[in-house]
């Protein structure tokens, strides 16, 4: 994908999702079969995802972001696999991080929960990965990211 097209894709996605976070417990979307996306899950939501068969949790939050509890420990206690892929902001929306996300999704054995704080970084990285790694057309990648 060309740099101007990539830049346009990310700018459009940022405009679409800016301000979409809502206070309180986040809602989640099944962006693709067996791929749940959204904001920071609380402990009860992690248990619900375990009951749905989720096997892997991919957390896009940086280590210094407060989760309200020790998410990695809880994920491990629930018998799930925890992956940290820190995306701090626009500078971390890179082809390398898109490839890392695709690898993590490709290696997952079962349903995945992919989250950040609000779901915005999830949408942006997922759209970039779909465009860069899968060759999805820009509008289709944006639609997936939304």
**134 DSSP 8-state letter:** T
Pair 82, 71: CB distance under 8 Å: yes
Q: What is the pLDDT of residue 81?
A: 97
Tokens found for residue 34: 């067996």
**Percent of the chain topping pLDDT 90:** 71
Q: What is the pLDDT of residues 104-126, one digit of tens each?
A: 999 999 999 999 999 999 999 99
- Can you tell me the mean pLDDT for 99-104? 96
Q: Is the predicted pLDDT of residue 77 greater than 70, yes or no?
A: yes
Question: What string of DSSP letters covers 44-89?
Answer: HHHHHHHHTT--EEEE-S-TTS--SS-HHHHHHHTT-EEEE----S
Q: Is the predicted pLDDT of residue 22 greater than 80, yes or no?
A: no
Pair 117, 40: CB distance under 8 Å: yes
97 Cβ partners below 8 Å, 6+ apart? 85, 87, 125, 128
């Amino acid at each position: 994908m060309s740099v101007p097209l990539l830049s346009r894709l990310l700018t459009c996605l940022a405009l679409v999702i800016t301000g979409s976070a809502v206070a309180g417990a986040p809602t989640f979307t099944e962006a693709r079969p067996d791929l749940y996306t959204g904001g920071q899950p609380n402990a009860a939501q992690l248990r619900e995802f375990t009951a749905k068969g989720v096997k892997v949790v991919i957390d896009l939050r940086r280590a210094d972001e407060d989760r309200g509890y020790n998410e990695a420990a809880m994920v491990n206690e629930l018998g799930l696999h925890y992956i940290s892929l820190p995306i701090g902001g626009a500078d971390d929306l890179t082809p390398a991080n898109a490839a890392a996300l695709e690898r993590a999704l490709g290696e997952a054995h079962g349903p995945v929960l992919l989250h950040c704080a609000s779901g915005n970084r999830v949408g942006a990285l997922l759209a970039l990965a779909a465009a860069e790694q899968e060759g999805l057309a820009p509008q289709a990648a944006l639609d997936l990211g939304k």
